[in-house]
Amino acid sequence: MVDLGYGDAGKGTVVDWLCATRPVHTVVRFNGGAQAAHNVVLRDGRHHTFAQFGAGTFHPGVRTHLARHVVVDPLALAAEADHLATVGVPDALDRLTVDSDALLATPYHRAANRAREIARGADRHGSCGLGVGEAVAYGLAHPDDAPRVADCHRPAVLRRRLTVLRDRLTAELGPLDAPPIDDCLPAFAGFAERVAIVDGSWLAGALRTGTCVFEGAQGVLLDEWHGFHPYTTWSTTTFANVDSLLAEAGRPGDVTRIGVLRTVTTRHGHGPLVTEDPSLPFTDHHNATNPWQGRFRFGHFDAVAHRYALAAAGGVDGLALTHLDLAGPDLRICRRYDTGDRLTPGPPGDLDRQAALTARLLRSRPLYDDPPTDWAEAVSAELDTPVVLTSHGPTADDKRTHGPLLAAAALARAG
């Protein structure tokens, strides 16, 4: 499952619905890290913002697996587990497995991330300030020294890697607002004692055992290769990671691909949002303005951008359309810009091309038609893809299926 926007489309509530309506063995997180914010609200009013745990965790027995593409933050994970315990889920850590090869996010990554973002001033990228991108960048630059989950079992190795990391970042950025290494090591050791750290073969067994839901983070329009550079995430937000994990598990192509999007196209922080309209009468108390990302912005449904995301993701089998409860007479569909009606994805890695695309979007203006009378039908027509699920509110009870793809009692290897 991927988000076909800029994130915040409702992936959490869709994953929760899937886990409420069929037997799911494991929710697999396949990208991102602690900066994810997938909100789930239960009918009794309980609420949790899922960051690293899978959004099916409210359902007894449903496991979470953090694949090697996830940047794991043990300190944030412990805090998230504590909050889950206060809302009736005391065993979240017991149902968690973590790939040993996943990168670790540390207080030094977080401090460096924030220092860089502050230094950008008015040219901020809209980072969440949690060090995820910093951990990825460091892992690419220094693959042999990057702290990984397996190192939590090896305190001497972890100490050495944290020391090298701190010293390199301090030399580049100056003193970091981060604790001493000796204060960090016990927390990482406690994580290793409490959580099941596994190798890459674990997922193959889970796939043989039962249905797995692959839950993506962020959105395709923020993808590290296909997003609008530089306002992107250091993460592959398309299905590419899922495809590689399934291939390694001997299950290539064994997936149902779902794309999630809102009726209202939104964006948190800086970067293009062609259909932004400050007059839209919307608020989102789960996505407030914060000092790192900036304000949460609302726009009309941007079919041009979502068509681009769909192409960049390689297509989907069906769409989950959320926030139908906001689709009133003020909300319209943008089918084309004054600069054209098509954005074409390029080859991964050409960031100059993506920056030029960003410049085009920043000067584009939306052209609107009258509001649709049937949103699901209009979105399906614009994206040439069936809408298979609609969400008319925050809980699983507010979901409606359309057609047979998600209506069956069991879902073949959800993606």
Catalytic residue IDs: 8, 38
Torsion region of 109: left, alpha or beta (phi above 0 gives left; psi -120 to 50 gives alpha): alpha
Residues 6+ apart with CB under 8 A from 176: 108, 111, 112, 115, 166, 169, 170
Residue keyed to tokens 């689709």: 327
DSSP structure class, residue 228: -
What are the residue ranges of helices labelled H in 214-329?
A: 240-248, 303-312
Amino acid in position 123 = D
CA–CA separation, 384 and 380 (whole Å): 6
CA–CA separation, 319 and 98 (whole Å): 29
Please give the C-alpha separations between residue 165 and each of 159, 302, 408, in angstroms, as whole numbers. Answer: 10, 42, 50
- Please give the order of strands across the beta sheet that includes 2-3: 2-3, 258-262, 318-322, 387-391, 399-401
Residue keyed to tokens 């397996």: 150
What are the residue ranges of helices labelled H in 121-150?
A: 132-141
Torsion region of 106: left, alpha or beta (phi above 0 gives left; psi -120 to 50 gives alpha): beta
The first and second tokens of residue 147, run together, are: 């702290």
DSSP structure class, residue 276: B
Residue 44 near residue 50, CB atoms below 8 Å: no
Please give the C-alpha separations between residue 200 and each of 69, 99, 252, in angstroms, as whole numbers. Answer: 11, 6, 16
Residues 6+ apart with CB under 8 A from 272: 228, 231, 358, 361, 362, 364
Q: Cα 252 to the chain's mean position, in Å?
A: 22
Residue keyed to tokens 């000067």: 363
| Dihedral angle over CA of 155, 160, 162, 163, nearest 10 | 140
Please give the C-alpha separations between residue 325 and each of 13, 282, 303, 331, in angstroms, as whole numbers. Answer: 14, 11, 19, 11
